[in-house]
Amino acid sequence: MKLDNPTSRDIAEIAGVSQATVSRALRNSPLVREETRERIQKIARELNYFVNRNAAGLRTQQSNTIAVLVFDETEGRDVQINPFFLSMFGYITRSAAARGFDVLVSLQQLSDDWHIEYQASRRADGLILLGYGDYMKYREKLDALAQANTRFIIYGVVVDGQPGYSLGCDNVAGGIQATQHLLELGRKRIVILGDTSERHPEFQSRRDGFRKALQKAGLDEEPELVVHTENTEEDGQQAIAGLLSRGTAFDAVFAVTDMMAIGAIQALADAGRSVPGDVSVVGFDDLPRAPYVSPPLTTVRQNIRESSEGLVTGIIDLIEGKEIQSRQTAPELIVRESCGA
């Protein structure tokens, strides 16, 4: 098979793959399965296709660009970016600009091959990853990034054995702070609200803190008060409405995010329950909306500025070949009217 001036697009069409996959295969990238890689290279030889080494050299030079990948966590429902991550963008952009780097922000679906596309395109010198939906699906993509020597840093909990580097809040400490506060107010039947399974390590760590505080107070976690739900206001509202409809008795809610906490307050209001008179509510994150909810939301604050600047410093250090360590930032309990004290 011969073509005049064959291109990577020609190879892609013949092989039935994307141009990005062709590019990776011709660089012997481990991100492409061996069988596919050999098939693409065979087609390239048959077409007398040769990689433009000058252009390839340009792509390998530093672009002074950091890619921030934020993930749609709704998995098929209306696209919804976690507002906590939206609040980080300004600090990340400002911190990067001060170091002479541009920032490329991209919304990704968990099902996309984003890990492959960014490795192949070299549009950025390093990646900052915000959010991930289901961690169990996300983890294999991190393994692929690490195998390809991609420079990346994750905002999130430090998970044993996880590739790459993480910067995040001390979620266990935050869970302890929130629960201790409710216990000090005399609350005993505390709902823990959110998907605290292994799919969400941050939320799981916040529940670990919840358990530790209960145990210190001589209390056990009650299964009927553990409510797994997705991280949206609507889901939080529906989950608490369901508890109320079943007649489950509780006097406090610790929601592992502010979004779910806001939904919980709405459900309680709809049912004629007073917050904080009947039920105290605590969230986690301290979203910009939190002080303006009715009543204003008590929450655990993650230090957005410190975290954002730390992510930028960390990824630039990796780009410059420096060693970095995963670390945690300290949470802070912000007491407002949703707890009554």
Q: Whole domain around residue 232: which residue ranges? A: 171-303+334-339
**pLDDT on residue 114:** 59
Q: Is residue 283 part of a domain?
A: yes
pLDDT in tens, 264-321: 999 999 999 999 999 999 999 999 999 999 999 999 999 999 999 999 999 999 998 8
The 10s digit of each residue's pLDDT in 95-142 is: 998 888 889 888 766 555 655 566 555 678 899 988 766 777 777 778
Question: Token pair for residue 235?
Answer: 């889901």
Same domain membership, residue 180 and residue 131: no
Is the model's pLDDT at 86 over the cut of 50?
Answer: yes
Answer whether residue 3 is part of any domain: no
**Does 2 fall in a domain?**
no
User: Do the domain assignments include residue 181?
Assistant: yes
Dihedral sign, Cα of residue 281, residue 287, residue 288, residue 289: negative
| 213 and 93 both lie in a single domain | no
Query: Mean of the pLDDT values across residues 41-65?
Result: 67
> Which residue, of 16, 42, 60, is where some domain finishes?
60
> In the chain, what's the furthest Cα-to-Cα distance?
80
Distance CA 92, CA 138 (A): 23
Taking residues 6-32, report their average pLDDT: 81
Q: Which residues pair with 227 in a beta bridge?
A: 193
Who has greater pLDDT, 42 or 181? 181
Q: pLDDT value at position 59?
A: 47
CATH number at residue 23: 1.10.260.40
Task: Give the closest residue to 302 by CA, choosing from 330, 282, 262, 336.
Answer: 330
Tell me the Cα Rg of the chain: 24
- Give the HSE-up count for residue 49: Cα atoms under 13 Å, Cβ half-sphere: 21
Residue 80, H or E segment? none
Q: Is residue 276 located within the same domain as residue 193?
A: yes
User: 202-244: per-residue pLDDT in tens?
Assistant: 999 999 999 999 999 999 999 999 999 988 899 999 999 999 9
Arithmetic mean of pLDDT, 70-78: 62
- What mean pLDDT, rounded, does the chain reach? 86
Q: Are 203 and 169 in contact (CB under 8 A)?
A: no
Is 43 or 48 the better-scoring residue by pLDDT?
43
The tally of domains found in the chain comes to: 3
Q: Which residues pair with 226 in a beta bridge?
A: 192
- What is the pTM for the complete model shown? 0.77
Is residue 178 domain-resident? Answer: yes
In a domain, 195, yes or no: yes
**How would you label 5-36 residue by residue, b for 16+ Cβ within 10 Å and e otherwise?**
ebebebbbebbebbbbbbbbbbbebebbeeeb
Give the Cβ contact number of residue 294 at 10 Å. Answer: 12
* CATH at residue 250: 3.40.50.2300
Best CA proximity match to 92, nearest among 130, 62, 61, 118: 130
